């Protein structure tokens, strides 16, 4: 059970936990900051789905958050590196099925099976053998 109390004079929310749990005190400004940063992250995740560069996403989110949502104070904390990390995490889960096999022949065979199941007509395929030896030109 949790008891939540509001201390108006201090602009603080206090949460008391029972059974030997420590008490936590969070200022409303800190809670609001976290909420706004989560909103900025949500905007980034939406833009990541469009597969733009990290720089373009950073710029678009900063502009939208500042002009449309009045979150310029929080948007200015957004960095391209943070966007790249979010992009990597989001894209990694959506592209997991694109990771191929080590064996190229098996990978092609599975691809053909997939395309056939989807209704495509696959007539033939070939894996060219490429030499890495010096041919002495």
Higher pLDDT, 27 or 98: 27
Tell me the pLDDT of the chain averaged across its residues. 76
Euclidean distance between CA atoms 54 and 29, whole angstroms: 29
Q: H helices within 1-137, ranges in order?
A: 28-48, 54-67, 72-75, 80-94, 104-117
- Is 90 exceeded by the pLDDT of residue 73? no
Note the pLDDT of residue 125: 65
Euclidean distance between CA atoms 115 and 120, whole angstroms: 5
Note the pLDDT of residue 101: 62
pTM of the predicted model, to two decimals? 0.50
pLDDT in tens, 89-128: 887 665 555 566 666 677 777 888 888 888 888 876 666 6
Note the pLDDT of residue 8: 59
Q: What percent of the chain has pLDDT over 70?
A: 62
């Amino acid at each position: 059970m949790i008891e939540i109390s509001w201390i108006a004079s201090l602009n603080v929310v206090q949460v008391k936990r029972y059974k030997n749990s420590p008490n936590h005190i969070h200022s409303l400004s800190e809670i609001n900051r976290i909420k706004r940063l989560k909103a900025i992250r949500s905007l980034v995740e939406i833009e990541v789905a469009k597969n733009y560069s990290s720089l373009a996403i950073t710029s678009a989110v900063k502009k939208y958050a500042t002009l449309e949502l009045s979150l310029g104070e929080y948007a200015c904390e957004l960095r391209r590196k943070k966007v790249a990390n979010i992009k990597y995490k989001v894209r990694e889960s959506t592209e997991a099925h694109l990771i191929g096999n080590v064996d190229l022949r098996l990978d092609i065979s599975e691809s053909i099976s997939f395309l056939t199941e989807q209704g495509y007509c696959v007539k033939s395929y070939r894996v060219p053998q490429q030499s890495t030896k010096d041919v002495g030109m």
